[in-house]
Amino acid sequence: MKHKHNHHTPKISKSTSTFAVLVICVAVVVTARVFTRHAAGQVKIKAAQNRVKGNPKGSIRIVEYLDFQCPACARGALMLKSYLQKYPLLIFLEVKYFPIQKIHAHAMTSAVYAECAARQNKFWAFQDVLVERQAQWAKLISAEDVFKNMAKESGLDISKLESCLADERVRALILNEKVAGKALGVDSTPTYFINGKIAVGTKSLTEELDKYLGASH
Amino acid sequence: MGLFFVVSGFEKLISPYENFSYVVQGYELLNNSLSDIVALVFPWIEFIVGVFMALGLWLKLSLRVLWAVIVIFIFVLAQALLRNLPIKDCGCFGELFSLPPHVTLIFDSCLLVIVSFLRRFLQKTLTLSLDNYFSLTR
């Protein structure tokens, strides 16, 4: 007995369907990229006034997004300090906050202390101590006492510091910077923008800087 | 399962490739140039294979590619754990969610079992797939 097969010709073949799916995939991704880049272009970035260093007219403008508890950020901060000492007229550095609280318990607290130091024009002195001793305080369950001692060492006025620590606008500023960073494509730390070009991690930072500094020798 | 890889791949594709390149560099297997190449190519493979799996198109090939990709993930994670590399977040899912490498290793091992199962019982896997639709209409 012959079985009747329910044959019908599909409107498009498998290879055409495959091609169409691939084209749609590429179109979706390209459209999403254009949209996110356009959205990033609308983000107004406020200059971090007390967290800048170097020559404002320098040809190498670096914006650094960091998390103070991130080991690679500590290495990057020390590298940039060294670059700035070597090329003070060429480099202009601006630091922005990007605390990654889900993996770093003290990310926000350290950023708050750093911002409070910035408000007393002591950001760089405080950051130096923070990154040099990162390995010690990162392991602690609570680092507040250590941060307070570091603040004293850096010359901060403790009563002003206490007021600042209680000010919710400080956290809001830090979170806003993080949101702005995300809009620009920052996903991890350290992320650097060197004359607008993104470089993630210290290897990429040195590669990118060497392109400029190699050319200037 | 296909949708999982669609979302994971898509998230990497819409953010700067330098982010994923940095993640790849963290596993200390490739130099910067090769990490960049992987970061540019791999998310497309992940996304497209995910789409094809979700649609059930070229399912046999998609499962084979996915199986190979997961084996590579497991190798990369395992060597990072054995070498005690300082990686706190596998970086696999961008900002979507964070998983430490040892948890991701377990997760990927489960995925490998599922994919192996789907390959083993391919005929049943093909039910409700576009591959099945096209084969019935020949």
Nearest chain A residue (CA) to B93: A187
CB contact under 8 A, B18 and A198: yes
pLDDT of residue A13: 83
Would you say the C-alpha torsion A114, A119, A124, A126 has a positive or negative sign?
negative
Task: Tell which residue, B24, B27, B62, B33, has the closest CA to residue B45.
Answer: B62
Q: Inform me whether the pLDDT recorded for B49 exceeds 90.
A: yes
Q: Inform me whether the pLDDT recorded for B94 exceeds 90.
A: no
- Min Cα distance A66 → chain B (Å) is 14
Q: What is the mean pLDDT of residues B62-80?
A: 92
- Min Cα distance A72 → chain B (Å) is 10
Q: What percentage of chain A reaches a pLDDT higher than 90?
A: 77
Of A7, A13, A203, nearest to B25 by CB-CB distance is A203
Neighbours of A13 (CB within 10 A): 12
Q: What is the mean pLDDT of residues A122-133?
A: 95
Amino acid symbol at A126: F
> Is the pLDDT higher at B132 or at B108?
B108
Q: Inform me whether the pLDDT recorded for A192 exceeds 90.
A: yes
Q: How far apart are CA A184 and CA B73, in angstroms?
A: 28
Q: What is the mean pLDDT of residues A186-211?
A: 93
* Lowest mean pLDDT across A101-105, B63-67, B82-86, B97-101: B97-101
pTM of the model: 0.82
pLDDT of residue A217: 38
pLDDT of residue A146: 95
Peptide bond into B86 cis (omega under 30): no
CB contact under 8 A, A188 and B91: yes
Q: Measured at the alpha carbon of residue A178, what is the angle toward residues A102 and A140, in degrees to the nearest 5?
A: 40
Sheet bearing A197-200, strands edge to edge: A52-54, A91-97, A60-66, A191-194, A197-200
Q: Inform me whether the pLDDT recorded for B96 exceeds 60.
A: no
pLDDT of residue A1: 46
pLDDT of residue B132: 72
CB contact under 8 A, A187 and B98: no
Q: Inform me whether the pLDDT recorded for A101 exceeds 60.
A: yes
pLDDT of residue B93: 54
Q: Is residue A84 classed as helix, strand or coil in its secondary structure? A: helix
Whether the Cβ atoms of residue A138 and residue A130 lie closer than 8 Å to each other:
no
Question: Which residue bears the tokens 């789409």?
Answer: B51
User: pLDDT-derived band of residue A4, with 50, 70 and 90 as boundaries?
Assistant: very low
User: pLDDT-derived band of residue B27, with 50, 70 and 90 as boundaries?
Assistant: confident
Amino acid symbol at B47: F
Nearest chain B residue (CA) to A18: B57
Please tell me which of A39-53, A116-130, B24-38, B79-93 the model is most confident about, judged by mean pLDDT.
A116-130
Ordered DSSP codes for B11-60: HHHHS-HHHHHHHHHHTTSS-HHHHHHHHHHHHHHHHHHHHHHHHTSSHH
CB contact under 8 A, A25 and B58: no
- A133 token code pair: 């001793």
CB contact under 8 A, A29 and B10: yes
pLDDT of residue A21: 92
CB contact under 8 A, B52 and A21: yes
Determine contact: B130 vs chain A, CB below 8 A: yes
B-chain CB neighbours of A21 within 8 Å are 51-52, 55, 57
Neighbours of A187 (CB within 10 A): 24
pLDDT of residue B98: 64
